[in-house]
Amino acid sequence: MMIDQAPALIIIVPLFVSLVLTLAGSLGPRVAYGLLLCGMAGSLLFSLLALGQVVTDNQAIHYRMGDWPPPMGIELVIDHLSGLVLVLVSACALLTAIYSLRTAAEDNPDRLNHYYALFALLVTGLLGMTASGDVFNLYVLLEISALSSYGLLARGRGPAYYATFKYLIVGTIGACFYLLGIGYLYIMTGSLNMLDLAEIISRPELQDSVSIKIGFSLMILGVWIKMALFPLHAWLPNAYSKAGITTACLIAPLMTKVSVYIMLRIMFTVFSVDYIFDSIAWSQVVIYLASAAAVIGMITALAQRDLRMMLTYIVVAEIGYMTGGAWVANAAGYTGAVYHILADGLMTLCLFMAVGAVIYRTGQTSLAAMQGIFKRMPITAVVLVIGAASIIGIPPTCGFFSKFYLIQGAAQAGAWVFVAALLIASLVAAVMFFKMLEIAFFGDLKALEQEPGGGHGHGSHDGHDGHGALPAVARQEAPLSMLIPMVITAASLIILGLYTKEVVNYFIGWSIPAGF
């Protein structure tokens, strides 16, 4: 019985946690933390159960909300793809929740409960979006996750408000474009259910309809704005880099990945391979955009002096990888894109966590904070190296295998621009991380101290390590609550890499859309 209800419980459990956290305003921070952990662990458990059932039965689970049959009611659909993304989202959320013990309490001395309630709401929104089988329901959950991310990001320091406002305006434009796209589809088909829509759109009389094309363009454009594809990415680095440590760890890996997942859903579930690559001949343009995103994102990241600014531009570049993989129009590219959702979710989380720990300990956000972390924070440094290796694409980390599939797909499709972009981006990433690790190993303290913009911004820093006495300090490893999730994430990067074949065969292989 629990297994039958698992699809609903994945989403309901964090929702209830959020409500209870709001109601129980007077409970202590420990209780709030415990509740949050329970909620996230529950989601992960039910996601695993649902995915397990999908794999054993080898067919998608259709869960009818309110027992109404699909085109009239709303259904949740968990197939190989969405099951995998659900597990990724809930696992990342759980790891971040564990990680948040110290940082969240310091960033939010008051209202920790409300902060955690928003945390749980954001996760509810992301999980709901992933599981939903109804385009309008997806919009509502998109707005829930967007709203709660505005709230979380606005908890940052001074400049965060303006950056969040920009994000709010851009995010609303994106969501409204998506809504307008639904409107066009609804006018032409009369349906909102994804599978029903797909069936109606595939009818010959709608193949050449301009309105359907406009609807598709608006929906995709909205999702691109939400996921910060290259020319539309300006809001992302500012908004994400000024957030609190926990917020950045939660939002940066997950929001964009779920948006990519939605793009795949729209492209291959609502519309079909034939429609997208034959009726709408955009794929060349999109591949150029994706290539530009990858190269420009990485080069801009190289130019940054602020650690988190650097990571956010890496996120922009990675979006280019996944978009390109989805639009090269073959099975290898699609596999690469989906596998990269998993890999990138984990490696972005890994890097944000490690950098967050460094910022937490040093109180600095500039590259200078990396000074001698191999001596002071050896475990964090190793985690950072593994994350960096994965971004660059060094085997056996999973970053290598996703890039391998992406390049294979691009080569099969003859998209040499994208192949070149991937290789250049990897090279730039290598340069960037070697620069960072060089500072970490041999950094010349005096040279760095003279640089402006050292950024002693972390106000809530509680001073058990002096700002000024960086090199002299002995080991100051991050607290255990941060180390455990970091080590798990770093280990999972390698484990995922080692089991690439299994993941591709048992999960992604089944979700490759018909027509490839």
Return d(Cα 493, Cα 46) in angstroms, integer.
22
Q: What is the dihedral of CA 501, 506, 512, 513, to 10 degrees?
A: 170
CB of 191 to other proteins, least distance (A): 6
CB of 110 to other proteins, least distance (A): 6
Comparing C-alpha atoms, which of 24, 136, 127 is closest to residue 71? 136
**Strand (E) or helix (H) holding 449:** helix 445-449
Residue closer to other proteins (CB basis): 243 or 512: 243
- H helices present in 228-306, as ranges: 235-241, 245-265, 273-274, 283-303
CB of 130 to other proteins, least distance (A): 14
Residue closer to other proteins (CB basis): 151 or 320: 151
Residue closer to other proteins (CB basis): 7 or 297: 7
Distance of CA 290 to the CA centre of its chain: 17
Residue closer to other proteins (CB basis): 71 or 395: 71
CB of 186 to other proteins, least distance (A): 6
Give per-residue burial for 417-440: e unless 16+ CB within 10 Å, then b.
bbbebbeebbebbbebbeebbebb
Burial zone of 41 (CB within 10 Å; 0-12 exposed, 13-18 middle, 19+ buried): middle
Residue closer to other proteins (CB basis): 114 or 375: 114
> What are the CA-CA distances from residue 411 to residues 328, 391, 511, 516 (Å)?
9, 21, 22, 15
> What are the CA-CA distances from residue 429 to residues 87, 104, 281, 314, 387 (Å)?
28, 30, 32, 8, 12
Residue closer to other proteins (CB basis): 124 or 335: 124
CB of 15 to other proteins, least distance (A): 6
Q: Is 67 left (phi over 0), alpha (psi -120 to 50) or beta?
A: left
CB of 29 to other proteins, least distance (A): 15
Residue closer to other proteins (CB basis): 189 or 348: 189
CB of 358 to other proteins, least distance (A): 25
Residue closer to other proteins (CB basis): 176 or 427: 176
Residue closer to other proteins (CB basis): 90 or 145: 145
**Secondary-structure percent of the chain, ordered helix, strand, coil, rounded to 5:** 75, 5, 20
CB of 26 to other proteins, least distance (A): 9
Residue with tokens 């090199």: 471
Return d(Cα 319, Cα 227) in angstroms, integer.
7
Return d(Cα 43, Cα 86) in angstroms, integer.
9
Given a contact cutoff of 8 angstroms between Cβ atoms, the answer to whether 320 and 230 are in contact is yes
CB of 428 to other proteins, least distance (A): 28
Chain residues that interact with other proteins, rule: CB under 8 A: 1, 5, 8, 12, 15-16, 19, 22-23, 25, 63-68, 71-74, 110-111, 114-115, 117-118, 121, 124, 128, 134, 136-137, 140-141, 143-144, 147-148, 150-151, 154-155, 158-159, 161-162, 164-165, 168-169, 172-173, 176, 179-180, 183, 186-192, 200, 209-211, 213-214
